[in-house]
Structure 1
Amino acid sequence: MTRLDWLNRLSFEDAQAEFLRCCGSQRWAEAMARARPFQNQEALFAEASWLWSQTGPEDWREAMLHHPRIGDVSKLREKFKATGAWSEQEQRGMEGAGEDVIQALAEGNRAYEERFGFIFLVCATGKSAAEMLALLRERMNNAPDQELKVAADEQAKITRIRLEKLLASP
């Protein structure tokens, strides 16, 4: 049985829980669980993207609550048990970062949250700590509504990666 078959056969509640691991929006996860069965992975990815496009600021903010701060590697497994290993992989760019970059990210995260009211969300996969810091600094210039949309787009990228991981998991 493929992982897609497995996902299609889960109970509604179990499927919803798996989708919540990919994106913390309850409304999105429920809609994904209802949309099953998926004929193939492409159909799953297309539906995930379309359903995310139907969400709004409340859903985006809810999804952000399910992410650790960039650079908060020490708390990933403790606080985010369901997605901790995935988050740790996604933030691998923090490995080898200098203390100056780590401190600047911590300070930048605090300033970002004060300005926008939510955590700095970036699809960290493949990015170094310095790249994430540069993005954080650049995005501090965005208007709040614009930044919320940018963060929602980043969530969509993260969701896609996590759906791929879900389908690849043993």
Structure 2
Amino acid sequence: MDAQQPARLVTLGQVVGVHGVRGAIKIISHTRPRTNIFSYRQWWLQRAAESWSRYELNGGQPQGKGLIAELNGVTDRDTARGLMGAAIAVDRSVLPPLPAREYYWCDLIGLAVYREDGSLIGQVRALEETGANDVLVVVTAAGSEQLIPYVPDHTVLAVDLESGRLTVDWPEETD
């Protein structure tokens, strides 16, 4: 479990429960398809503000609507329970390159969001999957949240990772 943490980790899921008595964990995957998380053999787990710890994936499989994973060194229910709530990440260098104009969610979080006229809306705090399309969760300067559909070439007009800027076609909120 001890190893030097990579400089850039990308969160791909979360531990949400335990399965059985032999240390298997229930997880949520943010990969598409969801079973792609099992393609990465070295996982980094972090609970709350603790440091990241490295684990080797022994195996995983779909179980009903969820996913079950087995990690090297996690051999009993109590150890698995200690991982509940942990984020699951991998080293950025093992992720496949994306086609042009496609982005990993982690690259969009933190970008400043502007309207076409240059007015600042806020900053991307998170993305959510809704089924129809993904949604940007944008926190305004006033601290409120705006949900903006992530629809390239319609709502989302431009993404500039180098300048940390995302341009959208989105009206001003009125009260």
Q: Could you state the TM-score of these two structures normalised by the residue count of structure 1?
A: 0.27
Which structure's relative contact order is higher, taking Cα pairs within 8 Å and 6+ residues apart?
1
Task: Please say which structure displays the higher CA radius of gyration.
Answer: 2
Q: TM-score, normalised by structure 2?
A: 0.27
